[in-house]
Structure 1
Amino acid sequence: MAGGAPEPKTASAVAGEFAVEAFLEMLVAERGVAKNTLDAYRRDLADAGGWLRGRGRALALADSDDLRGYLGALERAGLAPRTAARRLSALRQFYRFLYADGHRDDDPTTVLDAPRRGRPLPKILSEAEVDALLDAARGIDGPEGLRLVCLLEVLYATGLRVSELVGLPFAAVARDPRVLLVRGKGGKERMVPLTDAAMAAISDYKAVRGVFILGKSSPFLYPSRSAEGHLTRRRFGQLLDDLAVEAGIDRGRVSPHVLRHAFATHLLDHGADLRSVQQMLGHADISTTQIYTHVLTERLRALVESHHPLAQR
C-alpha cells in the first residue's frame, strides 16, 4: 500500500501495545526506573514485537518457540551475545509482569536459555613488567616516591581492589603487620598476608607519612587533600600512568585493576591453589576466580604454538 494509508492494526497488535505500555508504566511507578532505562526496555520490546509481527505473531501472545526463533534470528544476524542477553532479560521481565497481573497463564521465557556470553580474559602484566614499575617508583626521590613504592608493593602483595587500597585505615598497619584486615564489598572482612617487601615498604613510608597529613592526624594510611581525606582512585591512576611511561610500558596496559589481575595470575603461576586466591581477592564465588585459570591455559597454548617444533610445521 505504498503512498496510501497505513494498514489498520489488528486487535492482537493493539492488545500487545497496550500490554507493553502497561509494563513500562509499572516500571516507572513501582521501580522508579530512569528515562534512559525505560527507553531501552521500549526499544528491546519493540524489536521483538516487530520481528514477531512479521511472522504473524503478537508479542503479548508469543510462546516459547516464537521467542526461540527470535533469539536465533539475533544470533544469525551477528548480534553481540551481551546485547541479545539484555533483550532476553527485557522479555523475561515483560512476560513475568503479564503472568503476575493475570494477562497470561504462563511465562514462555522460563524454558529459554540465555545466550552464551564470552567472558574476556583479564589483562595482566608480566612479572618483569611489575618489577619495572617498582624500579621506576624507587627512582622517585622523597616522600612521594616512598608512598608510591608502598602503594605498589601492597597492591601487588595483596591484590586489593583500588578502593580498598586507597581507603586503608592507618590502624591496619599501626603496628608491625604480617597480614592486613581488609573490609571489602558488603562490609565483609578478610585477612590478606603481606610479603616482606610490602612490610618493608610500609615501614619506610610510615616514616614520612606525616608530610601528607594536613591536620593533627588522619585515620587513613594514605591521607591527602581530597574530599574523602585519602588518596583518590583517580589520582592513583594518574600516578600509575606516569610510572608506566617511565618504565617503558604502554600506559593503556597499566591500571590498579590490571595489577590486581597480575597478583592473582602470578600466584597461580607459582602454584597457589584457587581457593586461597579466591579468599585473598575477596571473591564471593570461586567461578569469578576461575577466569585466571583460563589466562594460564591461554598463555600455555601461546607458548606451545610459539616454541614447540611440531607447531612450526
Structure 2
Amino acid sequence: FLSAMKKLTPYAIKSGWFVTDPIAKLKRPKMSPAVPHSLTESDVLSLLDAPDVDTPIGLRDRAMLEVLYATGLRVTELVRLQYDQVSLAQGLVRVVGKGDKERLVPLGEEAIEWLSRYMKSGRPVLSERQSGWVFITQRGTLLTRQAFWYRIRTYAEQAQINSHLSPHTLRHAFATHLLNHGADLRVLQMLLGHSDLSTTQIYTQVAKERLQQMHATFHPRG
C-alpha cells in the first residue's frame, strides 16, 4: 500500500489534489525476518545415513554432515575447517566466523566418531598431498561450498526428503532441535556466532510451531 501511495503522490501534488506530500513522514514498517526452514529430527537422521561410508568420499561426506549438524557451523566455515581448529581429544572445534570472530563449539560423540574415522581411513585415501584442510577432494584440493551444497541435495533426494533445503538447512535444524530440547537462547547465540540475540530469536518461532504441532498430534485434547 505504501509503495503504491508513494508512486501516486507526485501525480496527486502535480494535479493539485494536495499542497504537500501527505505521506512524507510515513516510514516503511519493519519486515519480520524470514523464518528459516528446518528439518525434522527423523529427516536429519535419514540425511546423515545417506552417504555410502564404505567409500572415502562417502565417509568424508558423512563426517561433514555429522559435524554440520552437531555444531551448527555455516557451510563456508565447515569446508574451510583446518586441522589446527579441531581437537578430537577435547571434543571441540574452534571456528573463525564472520568478522574474524572466534568461538568454541562442542562436537558431540557421533561427530567425533565419524570425524575420527574419516581422518584415519578416508582422508589419506583421497589424497596423500599435505595440506591443512580437513575436508578435501580426490585431487587433494579444498572442497567448495557449492560442491558440498550439491552433495547435500543429492543425499536429500536419496533419503526422499521433500522439505525445502538450503545450504544452511542443517544449521537451522541444529538450532531448532536444541531449542526444542530446552537449550538456553543465549547459549545458542554463542554456538551460532550471532552478534545480536534478535537474530537467534528467529528460531524460537520455528521451535514454537514445532511444539504446537507435537501438542496437536499427541495431546488427547489437541
TM surpasses 0.5: yes
CA contact (8 A) 1:240 1:255 kept: no
Aligned residue runs from structure 1 range 1-313, under 5 A = 48=6, 51-56=9-14, 65-67=22-24, 109=25, 112-137=26-51, 139-173=52-86, 176-207=89-120, 208-213=122-127, 215=129, 217-224=130-137, 229-250=141-162, 253-305=164-216
- More relative contact order in 1 or in 2 (CA 8 Å, sep 6+)? 2
Question: Match for 1:184: what amino acid?
Answer: G
Cα shift at 1:283: 0.5
1:303 deviates by: 3.9
Give the drift of 1:210: 2.3
- Contact 1:52 / 1:66 at 8 angstroms: preserved in 2? no
Return the offset for 1:237. 1.0
Q: What secondary structure, in the 3-state scheme, does the structure 2 residue paired with 1:141 have? A: coil
TM, length-normalised to structure 1:
0.62
- Tell me the alpha carbon deviations over residues 214-241 of structure 1, each in whole angstroms, 9 at most, x when there is no partner: 63x1111112378x94111111111111
- Compute the displacement of 1:307 (Å): 5.7
| Corresponding pairs, count | 218
**307 and 230 in structure 1: CA distance in 2 versus 1, 3 angstrom threshold:** same
**2:66–2:110: 8 Å Cα contact kept in structure 1?**
yes
Looking at structure 2, the residues matched to 62 and 219 of structure 1 have their Cα atoms a distance apart, in angstroms, of: 65
Tell me the distance in 2 between the aligned counterparts of 1:309 and 1:172. Answer: 49
Q: Indicate conservation of the 8 Å contact 2:87/2:93, yes or no.
A: no
- Aligned-partner SS, 1:253: coil
- Aligned residue identity for 1:283: H
- Partner Cα separation in structure 2 for residue 179 and residue 274 of structure 1: 20
C-alpha distance in 1, partners of 2:98/2:138?
25
Distance 1:62 1:254, change over 3 A: same
* SS of equivalent to 2:94: strand
- Largest Rg, 1 or 2: 1
Q: CA deviation at 1:50?
A: 5.0
**Runs (5+) with no aligned partner, structure 2:** none
Retained in 1: the 8 A contact 2:72–2:170? yes
Give 1:259 shift. Answer: 0.6
Match of 1:27 in 2: none
TM-score (norm 2): 0.85
Larger fraction in helix: 1
Whole-Å separation in 2 of the counterparts to 1:214 and 1:50 = 67
Q: Secondary structure at the match of 1:235?
A: helix
Q: CA deviation at 1:211?
A: 2.9
Q: What RMSD over aligned residues (CA atoms) do the two structures have, in Å?
A: 2.9
